[in-house]
Amino acid sequence: MTGKTIIVSNRLPVKIQEKDGGYNSSPSEGGLATGLGSIYQEGENVWIGWPGTEIAPDKEEEITAQLASLSLLPVFLSQEEISEYYEGFSNEVLWPIFHYYASTYSTYRQSNWQFYQQVNQKFADAVLNVAKPGDTIWVHDYQLLLVPALIRKQLPDVSIGFFLHIPFPSFELFHLIPWRNELLEGLLGADLIGFHTFDDVQHFTHACARLLHVNLSSNVISLPDRLIVAEAFPMGIDEQKYASLAKSETVKQEIENLNATLNGVRAILSVDRLDYSKGILQRLQAFEELLKNNPEYLEKVVLYMIVVPSRDTVPQYKHLRDEIDKRVGNINSLFRTLNWSPVQYFYRSFPIETLSALYATADVALVTPMRDGMNLVSKEYVASRINNDGVLILSEMAGSSRELIDAIIVNPNDMGMMAAAIKQALEMPAEEQESRMVKLRKNVSKFNVKHWVKIFMDRLSEVKEQQQSLHTR
Using CB under 6 A as the binding rule, whether residue 373 contacts ligand GDG is answered as yes
Q: Which of 141, 272, 275, 372 is catalytic?
A: 372
Paired strand residues for 170: none
In the complex with ligand GDG, the residue whose CB is nearer, 4 or 165, is 165
Residues 71-110, one symbol each (x = binds ligand GDG by CB under 6 A, - = not), give ----------------------------------------
Supply the minimum distance, in Å, between the C-beta of residue 405 and ligand GDG.
Answer: 17
Does 368 contact ligand GDG by CB under 6 A?
Answer: no
350 near ligand GDG, rule: CB under 6 A: yes
Nearest approach, Cβ of residue 307 and ligand GDG (Å): 8
Residue 11 makes contact with ligand GDG by CB under 6 A: no
Active site residue 372: yes
Q: How many binding residues for ligand GDG (CB under 6 A)?
A: 20
Q: Which is nearer to ligand GDG, 200 or 363 (CB)?
A: 200
Residue 125 annotated to the active site: no
Reading across the β-sheet that carries 159-163, which strands appear in turn?
72-74, 46-50, 5-11, 136-140, 159-163, 192-195, 227-232, 220-222, 215-217
Pick the closer one to ligand GDG by CB: 191 or 380.
380
253-272 footprint of ligand GDG as x/- string (CB under 6 A)? ------------------x-
Taking CB under 6 A as the rule, does residue 235 contact ligand GDG?
Answer: yes
Residue among 5, 143, 375, 433 that touches ligand GDG (CB under 6 A): 375
Task: Single out the segment in contact with ligand GDG by CB under 6 A; choices: 121-129, 171-179, 253-261, 371-379.
Answer: 371-379
Q: Out of 3, 15, 29, 244, which residue is the one contacting ligand GDG (CB under 6 A)?
A: 29
Residue from 6, 190, 355, 391 touching ligand GDG (CB under 6 A): that is: 355
CA distances from 46 to 70, 179, 439 (A): 9, 31, 37
Query: Which C-beta is closer to ligand GDG: that of 99 or that of 464?
Result: 99
Conformational region of residue 2, where left means phi above 0, alpha means psi within -120 to 50, and beta covers everything else:
beta
CB of 39 to ligand GDG, least distance (A): 16
Nearest residue (CB) to ligand GDG, 294 versus 411: 411
Binding residue for ligand GDG, selected from 144, 147, 306, 324, defined by CB under 6 A:
306
Long-range contacts of 430-435 (CB under 8 A, 24+ apart): 430/389, 433/388, 433/389, 433/390, 433/391, 434/388, 434/389
CB of 10 to ligand GDG, least distance (A): 11
Taking the C-alpha atoms of residue 316 and residue 334, their distance in angstroms, rounded to an integer, is: 27
- Choices 104-112, 208-216, 349-357, 430-438 (CB under 6 A): range interacting with ligand GDG: 349-357
| Polymer length of the chain | 473
Of 141 and 191, nearer to ligand GDG (C-beta) is 141
Q: Which of residues 146-185 bind ligand GDG (CB under 6 A)?
A: 165-166
> Are 121 and 150 in contact, with CB atoms under 8 Å apart?
yes
Query: Given 140, 165, 196, 203, which residue is catalytic?
Result: 165
By CB under 6 A, tell whether 216 contacts ligand GDG: no
What does the binding site for ligand GDG look like in residue numbers (CB under 6 A)?
29, 31, 165-166, 235, 271, 273, 306, 308, 349-350, 352, 355, 372-377, 380
Q: Which residues are catalytic?
A: 165, 372
